[in-house]
Chain A
Amino acid sequence: MIRIRGLRKHLGTRQVLDGVDLDIAAGETVVVMGRSGTGKSVLLKHIIGLMKPDAGSIEVEGQEIVGMGERELDAVRRRFGMLFQSAALFDSLTVGENVGVGLREHQRLPEPEVRRRVAERLEWVGLSGVEAMKPGSLSGGMRKRVGLARAIAMDPQYILYDEPTTGLDPIMADAIDGLIRGMQQRLSVTSVVVTHDMTSAYKVADRMAMLHDGKIVFTGTPDEVRATTHPMVRQFVAGSSTGPIRPL
């Protein structure tokens, strides 16, 4: 259970988050959609404590994480996995070491067990046998999937996905959507998925939320989104440049 209230963050010259309210129930997958640059990544970084809000509250299982010190935050973060928009792979490490870094740093598993787990997670994202490669020699889509394997390596309770299907071909995107669904069904993970890929959004979402001008302007189930008369949501879902949201 994640409960966000009145989250505000000013960055540079912009009020990026201007009072975000959002609930993510246990075991639920919430898709956050919104245009590029509206602050979706910034919102995810607040949930995992990488950014500190100017105001507002974020509760994880009833525990307030705003104002926590780095050490307390680390205890919370161990329950999370995060896929970064840029994948953020460690480019001095191999793919295998990237996926295994959390296992090696936090759990005293025997080395064969670490390798087995790394191979398994890479297989889940459709990348068997690439352990020895360096991130620099991977394509964008492969990097994303390695980032995903790293995010799920520690069996997190919560997973934050920042544009998991951006840069993937439609077939791979569908496989990753299936993986996100599978994580939720098999391990009852609670997830926040940031995306503007509507095909993917409909497939993985229990609920969808739209972030616009620093606020959540709409939440609803996929069926409610399909049926809504909310002009901004309709425009976004249809991918239209005419409507209440000005393209430029």
Chain B
Amino acid sequence: MEDFLPARGVRFVRRRAFDWVAEVGRVTLMLRDVVRFLIPGLRSFGRLVQQMNAIGVGSLWLVVVVSLFTGAVAAVQAAYQFTAVVPMRYLGSVILRSVIIELGPVLTALVIGGRVGASIAAELGTMKVTEQIDALRAMAIHPVRYLVVPRVVAAVIMLPIITIFSDAIAIFGGYVVAITSIGVSSHTYTQSLKDFFLMKDLWSGLIKSFFFGGIIGTMGCFHGFATEGGAEGVGLATTHAVVASCVLVLISDYVLANVLFRFIFAA
């Protein structure tokens, strides 16, 4: 009976569930330290700026390409669905709202989560396996204060900024497609943007990206610190950080969408 398959399955699920709860606990403890060391961790302004720079400048071209094509595809798809149903003068508005509410924040977070989450996890993971984290602790420098706070805060600040940038590029990408291949005039497109722009749409996207930044920074640091072993461990940590960032971004997107549009911005 010991190897009765369903029993083994239950054991597996139970063990995984325990691991998962333990991990949530450890993340919570790290976040508590982030809050505790927030002010002292930001005393060195240079480290924060360095991280913001690494996140922003390093991701610029990737975000440009992704956003441009996202906007372009949104235009093509919307035009196809509008055909014989909705007048093309609404094209600008539908691109605008889908980009600033959903596509801009989420795609930016997925792209940055892949790039920045991975690089944070790889850097801290390498520091862990080469005893650099131990060396910090031995010098009475708390690793959360020195390493985690600047990274998480930089991600939280940079994500909304990059998202605004991404929104603009995507709307421009839609514009290019609309006037070159769909036959919507430049004036019609921009008028439609103006008529349907709502500040609360932009806010909702930026609030989401603020949380996404926190998720990406936290997951990169957490999985970096959890690294065990050598180069192989660093590789695993990187993968875990990216997967966790992306999954949590999508789950929290759903949760935040409910909170924002059913309660805060409901009307």
Residues of A within 8 A of B (CB): 45, 48-50, 70, 73-75, 77-78, 80, 82, 84, 86, 88-92, 101-102, 105-106, 154
Contact = CB atoms under 8 A, between A and B. Distances in A.
A80 B135 contact: no
A193 B197 CA distance: 69
Contact of B138 (A48, A70, A92): A48
A70 B136 CA distance: 12
B142 A88 contact: no
A102 B132 contact: no
Contact of B141 (A49, A50, A105): A105
Contacts of B132: 88-91
Contacts of B23: none
Contacts of A74: 140, 142
Contacts of B134: 45, 50, 84, 88
Nearest to A92: B123
A89 B136 CA distance: 10
Contacts of B131: 84, 86, 88
Residue from A70, A73, A86, A105 with most neighbouring chain B CB atoms (10 Å): A105
B15 interface: no
Given A86-B130, A88-B130, A102 B141 contact: yes
Nearest to A86: B131
B139 interface: yes
Given A84-B135, A105-B146, A77 B130 contact: no
B139 A102 contact: yes
Residue from A74, A88, A154 with most neighbouring chain B CB atoms (10 Å): A88
Interface residues of B, number: 15
A50 B132 CA distance: 12
B140 A82 contact: no
Interface in B153-194: none
Interface string B101-139: 000000000000000000000010001001110111111
A74 B132 CA distance: 16
A90 B135 contact: yes
Nearest to B146: A105
Contacts of A82: 135, 138
Given A50-B138, A88-B130, A106-B141, 5 more contacts: A73-B140, A84-B131, A88-B132, A92-B123, A102-B141
Smallest CB-CB A-B distances: 8 pairs: A74-B140, A88-B135, A88-B131, A77-B140, A82-B138, A78-B140, A102-B139, A50-B134
Contacts of B138: 48, 50, 77, 80, 82, 84
25 contacts: A45-B134, A48-B138, A49-B137, A50-B134, A70-B137, A70-B142, A77-B137, A77-B140, A82-B138, A86-B131, A88-B131, A88-B132, A89-B132, A90-B132, A90-B135, A90-B136, A91-B130, A91-B132, A101-B139, A102-B139, A102-B140, A105-B139, A105-B146, A106-B140, A154-B139
Nearest to B131: A88
Contact of A50 (B123, B137, B142): B137
B162 to A, nearest CB: 23
Contacts of A80: 138
A70 B134 CA distance: 12
Contacts of A48: 138
Contacts of B123: 92
Residue from B127, B132, B137, B139 with most neighbouring chain A CB atoms (10 Å): B139
Contacts of B146: 105
Residue from B130, B132, B135, B137 with most neighbouring chain A CB atoms (10 Å): B135
A93 to B, nearest CB: 10
A13 to B, nearest CB: 15
Nearest to A77: B140
Nearest to A74: B140
Contacts of B137: 49-50, 70, 77
A74 B144 CA distance: 14
A101 B130 contact: no
A80 B137 CA distance: 11
Nearest to B40: A105
B139 to A, nearest CB: 5
Residue from B132, B134, B138 with most neighbouring chain A CB atoms (10 Å): B138
Nearest to A48: B138
A105 B135 CA distance: 14
Interface in B208-248: none
A80 B132 CA distance: 16
Nearest to A85: B131
A58 to B, nearest CB: 15
Contact of B139 (A45, A77, A91): A77
